[in-house]
């Protein structure tokens, strides 16, 4: 919505907001679930039964079409290809093994001017723009037409919802970042209902011990088959439901998106709702998709977007070795992302998944974001901090912030039963895991709530230390 409509919506009574939600739902249902959606999700399902050779031929056809489109229709890529010695003749026989010959696409380039990736035709006619979450910097603007949007939803229907045993067209509940209840509201209902998509939209901004009975009442009344949304919000809701000893409807499947699902979150959510959680990795840039099978493993979908896992030196990471996910998307033919540095760290599994979906490479882990790696004196990087809060029932949520090379702040939201022993346990775990010396200061701070961004998410890890390299210093020089 525009800012003007947002203000009108926020100041309207609930019945008028509900009317607006249904009008908005009608628009989005038409945009997302049309003819392209129907044809595309069926094609994704059909390809699951193809032979490996046929599947790879298809992926390479998509790749050739995309790089040729970039060369012929996007001046930015045409100039970049010429600079790298990429000829039109090579593009005509382009294969997956040729990808390293193309330059990497930096996020800074896209942030500075996302329209440079648009085809000449798309640049002349307006497309709907979407912003990434921007949790680690300025949001990136991407452009989708309706066909691209339907392609994106179709891929999720075939490889995420269907693998979880549900459909996006089933009744579902969503806990995510749209502000559907004014933030200052302190009275229920803390949800709105979109009848066109049978979607119960629960506010991520009003979950609290006082309000949790109203969330449970809504879930028990509408009984969605799918619960979808940010894992941090669903986890917080699950914790409060358990502590309030409430009985809640268990959907057929829970699908988490947009944030990393930590093991302790999965355990709590599945325990409270009595339902398996399926984690999904995707991006609004529409260039990569990985979803979880019933064996609990991530699978990359190369027919949606081809993903390379690269070490810092640009070479392919070995199986079991963490590297940055670099994606080449096929779904968006209007704004083309080739070898896009996502900033996400992943590890390719050494062996195929036992589920038998061998066409789709298995990830052993989605480690996190490059920006979420914290730094120690000497250039050592550390990641993964969910262990700090594991099995500490006196803590609702936690956040790790690096203020300087030798100064960490750990914010916690206390739950009933919290004591200073919990704070000391967190501090000791941090020191022990990473062998931190006495020069490192760790402050554990109790706060009422971890601030959410405009999208309803909070950053679990924040690094405020700059990395600077100079020709004379092979390691990172760290400074505040």
How would you classify the pairing of strands 277-282 and 253-256? Answer: parallel
Of 378, 402, 334, 372, whose CA–CA distance to 477 is shortest? 378
Return d(Cα 218, Cα 204) in angstroms, integer.
14
Q: What is the pLDDT of residue 84?
A: 93
Which pLDDT does position 1 carry in this prediction?
Answer: 53
Tell me, what's the pLDDT at 453? 62
Residues 104-120: tens digit of each pLDDT: 999 888 888 889 999 99
- Cα angle, residue 195 at apex, residues 191 and 197 outer, rounded to 5°: 100
State mean pLDDT over 399-412.
91
pLDDT band at 471 (very low <50, low <70, confident <90, very high): very low
Q: What is the pLDDT of residues 123-174, one digit of tens each?
A: 888 677 776 654 444 567 888 889 999 999 999 999 999 999 999 999 999 9
Token pair of 433 as six digits = 């895991």
Least confident among 244-253, 396-405, 449-458: 449-458
pLDDT mean over 341-347 = 88
* pLDDT score of 137: 44
Instruction: To the nearest 10°, report the CA torsion of 43, 45, 48, 49.
Output: -90
Per-residue pLDDT of 2-20, as tens digits, reads 567 777 777 778 888 888 8
Q: Which residues of 93-108 are buried (b: 16+ CB within 10 A; e: fewer)?
A: ebeeebbeebeebebe
Residue with structure tokens 């963490």?
322
The count of other CB atoms within 10 Å of the CB of residue 350 is: 11
Domains and CATH numbers, the chain: 3-370 (3.40.50.12780), 373-479 (3.30.300.30)
Read off the pLDDT of residues 410-467 as tens digits, 9 standing for 90 and up.
999 888 888 889 999 999 988 887 778 888 999 999 998 887 665 556 678 888 886 5
The alpha carbon of residue 315 and the mean position of all alpha carbons in its chain are separated, in whole angstroms, by 25
Mean pLDDT score of the chain, rounded to an integer?
86
**Residue 98 pLDDT more than 90?**
yes
Confidence of residue 479 (pLDDT cuts 50, 70, 90): very low
Query: Rounded CA gap, 43 and 155, in Å?
Result: 9
Q: How far apart are CA 199 and CA 209, in angstroms?
A: 24
pLDDT value of position 472 = 33
Please report how the helices 231-243 and 263-273 are oriented relative to each other, as an axis angle in degrees rounded to 10.
50
Lowest mean pLDDT among 155-164, 325-334, 372-381: 372-381
Chain mean position to CA 399: 18
């Amino acid at each position: 919505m525009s800012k003007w409509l947002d203000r009108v919506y926020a100041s309207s009574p609930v019945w008028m907001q509900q009317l607006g939600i249904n009008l908005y739902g009608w628009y989005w249902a038409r945009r997302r679930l049309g003819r392209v959606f129907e044809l595309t999700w069926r094609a994704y399902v059909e390809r699951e039964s193809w032979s490996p050779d046929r599947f790879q031929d298809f992926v390479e056809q998509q790749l050739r079409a995309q790089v040729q489109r970039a060369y012929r229709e996007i001046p930015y890529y045409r100039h970049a290809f010429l600079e790298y010695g990429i000829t039109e003749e090579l593009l005509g026989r382009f294969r997956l093994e040729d990808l390293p010959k193309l330059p990497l696409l930096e996020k800074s380039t896209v942030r500075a001017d996302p329209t440079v990736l648009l085809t000449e035709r798309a640049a002349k006619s307006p497309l709907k723009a979407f912003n990434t979450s921007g949790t680690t910097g300025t949001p990136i603007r991407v452009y989708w037409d309706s066909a691209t949007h339907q392609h994106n939803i179709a891929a999720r229907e075939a490889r995420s919802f269907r693998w979880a045993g549900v459909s996006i067209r089933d009744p579902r509940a969503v806990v995510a970042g749209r502000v559907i209840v004014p933030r200052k509201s302190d009275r229920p209902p803390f949800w709105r209902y979109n009848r066109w998509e049978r979607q119960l939209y629960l506010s991520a901004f009003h979950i609290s011990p006082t309000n949790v009975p109203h969330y449970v009442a809504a879930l028990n009344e509408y009984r969605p088959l799918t619960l979808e949304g940010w894992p941090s919000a669903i986890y917080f809701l699950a914790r409060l439901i358990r502590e309030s000893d409430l009985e809640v409807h268990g959907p057929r499947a829970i699908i988490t998106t947009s944030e990393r699902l930590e093991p302790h979150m999965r355990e709590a959510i599945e325990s409270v709702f009595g339902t398996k959680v399926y984690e999904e990795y995707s991006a609004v840039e529409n260039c990569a998709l990985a979803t979880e099978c019933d064996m609990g493993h991530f699978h990359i979908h190369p027919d949606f977007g081809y993903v390379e896992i690269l070490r810092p030196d640009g070479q392919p990471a070995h199986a079991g070795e963490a590297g940055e996910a670099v994606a080449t998307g096929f779904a968006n033919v209007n704004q083309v992302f080739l070898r896009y540095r996502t900033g996400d760290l992943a590890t390719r599994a050494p062996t195929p998944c036992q589920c038998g979906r061998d066409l789709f490479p298995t990830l052993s882990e989605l480690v996190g974001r490059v920006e979420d790696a914290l730094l120690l004196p000497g250039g050592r990087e550390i990641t993964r901090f969910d262990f700090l809060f594991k099995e500490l029932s006196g803590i609702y949520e936690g956040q790790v912030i690096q203020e300087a090379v030798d100064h960490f702040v750990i914010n916690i939201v206390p739950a009933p039963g919290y004591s200073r022993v919990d704070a000391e346990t967190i501090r000791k775990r941090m020191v022990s895991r990473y062998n931190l010396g006495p020069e490192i200061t760790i402050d554990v701070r109790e706060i009422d709530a971890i601030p959410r961004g405009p999208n309803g998410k909070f950053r679990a890890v924040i690094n405020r230390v700059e990395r600077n390299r100079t020709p004379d210093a092979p390691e990172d020089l760290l400074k505040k």
